[in-house]
Amino acid sequence: GCGTLGLLLCAQSRCSITGIELNPSAHLAALANIRRNALEHRIHSICGDVRELNQLVPPGSYEICLSNPPYFSGGPVSQSHPTARCSDNCSPEELFQGAAWALKYGGDFFLVHKPEMLAHLCGCAVKAGLEPKRLRLVRHRENGPVTLILLSCRKGGKPGLIWEDRCLYSAEGRPTPYFKELYHIQE
pLDDT tens figures, 10-65? 887 888 999 999 999 999 999 999 999 999 999 999 999 999 999 999 999 999 99
Task: Give the residue ranges of DSSP H helices in 37-162.
Answer: 53-56, 92-102, 118-127
Q: Residue 171: which of 141, 130, 150 has the closest Cα?
A: 141
Answer whether residue 127 shows pLDDT above 90.
yes
Cβ atoms of 33 and 3 within 8 Å: the answer is: yes
- pLDDT bucket at 88, cuts 50 / 70 / 90: low
> What's the pLDDT score for residue 33?
94
- pLDDT bucket at 85, cuts 50 / 70 / 90: very low
What's the CA gap between 83 and 85, in Å, rounded?
6
What's the CA gap between 41 and 19, in Å, rounded?
13
What's the CA gap between 146 and 8, in Å, rounded?
24
State pTM to two decimals.
0.86
- In the chain, the amino acid numbered 152 is S
What is the rounded average pLDDT for all residues in the chain? 89
Q: Tell me the longest C-alpha to C-alpha distance in the chain.
A: 50
- pLDDT bucket at 185, cuts 50 / 70 / 90: confident
